Amino acid sequence: MIQQGQLHLDLALLEDKLGYKFANPMLLEQALTHRSHSGIHNERLEFLGDSILNCVVALMLYEKFSKIDEGDLSRLRANLVKQQSLYEIAQRIELSQFLRLGGGEQKSGGFRRPSILADGMEALFGAIFIDGGFDQTKRVINTLYQPVLQSVDPKTLGKDAKTLLQEYLQSRHISLPLYSVVATHGAAHSQEFEVECAIPKFSIQVIGKGGSRRAAEQGAAKLALEAVMAAAPQAAKRTRRKKEPEANVKTEGGDEAPKRSSKKIAEEVEASSTDAAQPVADTTLL
C-alpha cells in the first residue's frame, strides 16, 4: 500500500505505467482512493470513466472490425469492458500496490478484489479525462487495450473460456471437462485458488489460478482449450483410416481409366458375371 512519505514517488511509477503524467496529481490520488479510506473517494470518477471507456472501446471496435454488425459489436464491447477484462489490465499494471484502502479493506484483502481493481481502472480513466481531455484518455485506453485487442476473435463474440471449451468439445462429441479445486492458499479473506481442468480423452490436465474459484476455472479452461486444440489434429491423424490402394485399369485403347478401388472393381466384375448368366429372350418368329 501507499505510504504518505512515498506517495509522490509511487504515483510517478503509476504514471509511467499508464503513459500519462497528471497536471493535477490530486485527481490521481482521488482515483486511487476507495470509499473505505476517506470521504473524498473515486466513485464519481468511476462513473465518468465507465462512460468514457465504453465510448473509446466502441470506437476501437468500429475501426478494427469493419464487417461486423451492430449486435456483434455490442457483444464484443461488453466483453472488453466487463469487470474481468478491467481486472486483468489492473493486474498487468500492478494497480493493487497503488490503491488507498481503509484498514478493514486492507485486512480483508480488498487490494486483490476484482471489483475494487476494476472500479479503480474506470476511476483512472475518468481522472485522465478531467485532467487531459478525451484525446489523452483515448490514447491511454488504446495503449492498455492493445494486448487485449490482439487476441480478440470476433467469432467468439465475448464468450468466456469455459463456454468456448464446452462448445468445442460438444461439437466433436467429446466428454465435457472435469473441474476440481486442488489447492487453496492464503487466509480465508484473501485466498488464491488452484483449479484443475481435466479432459480424459486427450489425457489433458492443466491448472488455473485465481482470486476466486470461478477465476481459477476460467484460467484452467483457457489452458485446456489451447491444449485440446493442439492435441485434436494429432489424434485425428492417428485414428484416420488408411485408404485402400486403388487399381490402375487400362482401357482397350490403352488409355488409363479413372482409378477405382479393388472393392469397386470386384463389385463390377460380379455384376457383369451376373448379367452374362441371364437368359436371352428368343425373338425368332414362329
Catalytic residues: 50, 122
CA distance 88 to 222: 14
**CB 35, CB 43: distance < 8 Å:** yes
**8 A C-beta contact, residue 140 and residue 89:** no
CB atoms within 10 A of CB 241: 5
Q: Is the dihedral angle over the CA atoms 54, 222, 165, 180 positive or is it negative?
A: negative
Residue type, 134: F
Closest CA to 115 of 104, 103, 128, 105: 105
| Cell numbers found for residue 160 | 468466456
Q: How many CB atoms lie within 10 A of CB 125?
A: 25
Q: What is the DSSP string of 62-77?
A: HHH-TT--HHHHHHHH
How many CB atoms sit inside 10 A of residue 114's CB? 19
Question: What DSSP state is assigned to residue 202?
Answer: G
Q: What is the 3-state secondary structure (H, E, C) of 149-195?
A: HHCCCCCCCCCCHHHHHHHHHHHCCCCCCEEEEEEEECCHHHCEEEE
Q: Give 220's strand partners.
A: none
Q: In angstroms, how far apart are the furthest CA atoms of the chain?
A: 127
